[in-house]
Amino acid sequence: MIIWGSRGKERTIARGQFFCPSCQAMRTFQHREVGRYFTLYFIPLFQTSKLGEYVECNVCLTTFKPEVLTLTRAYLDELGQQTQLDDAIAEIQRQLDAGLPLQALGKGLVDSGLSEELAASVLFRATQGLYSTCPSCGAKYKASLQFCSSCGTRLTKP
């Protein structure tokens, strides 16, 4: 008597890290495939069909479609760009603390390849929208500064 048949079986295709939409954090995952296998004496011998695949978060055990891994790459790219922007803003804040006027920093950003709108946005974030103006020469500085570095005049508060 020969006993044969089929049954479903899962196997892990890949492991790694991804941004889990459920946990809202970077987590480890298992990329799993479900397939139907031919069995002989209840031993799976070979896969006869692929039934599907999914990604499972190892922390919350939530399952997702495999496309979540491509979203992770996009998220990491975006996160990398955000980190670069945060680093640039921190550097601009250091230069503002040193007494450089907003116009000089804006010109430097435009000269480095940013559009004028993006440069203005970066300067706005760096100053949080608060700046002092020199009544003598019209230069704009970080709000915490008291004197113009160009002409020495006391700055007017925002």
Domain regions of the chain by residue span: 4-66, 73-142
Q: Are 141 and 131 within 8 A, CB to CB? A: yes
Highest mean pLDDT among 53-67, 76-90, 127-141, 144-158: 53-67
How large a percentage of the chain has pLDDT more than 70?
93
Please report the beta strands in 41-115, taking only residues with DSSP state E, as ranges in sequence order.
43-57, 63-64
Query: Residue 132 burial by CB count (10 A; 0-12/13-18/19+): exposed, middle or buried?
Result: buried
pLDDT of 115 above 90: no
The secondary element (H helix, E strand) that includes residue 142 is strand 140-142
- d(CA 57, CA 22) in angstroms, rounded, equals 9
Tokens of 43: 């031993």
The CB density around residue 2, as the number of other CB atoms within 10 Å, is: 5
Strand partners of residue 31: 14, 55
The CB density around residue 52, as the number of other CB atoms within 10 Å, is: 11
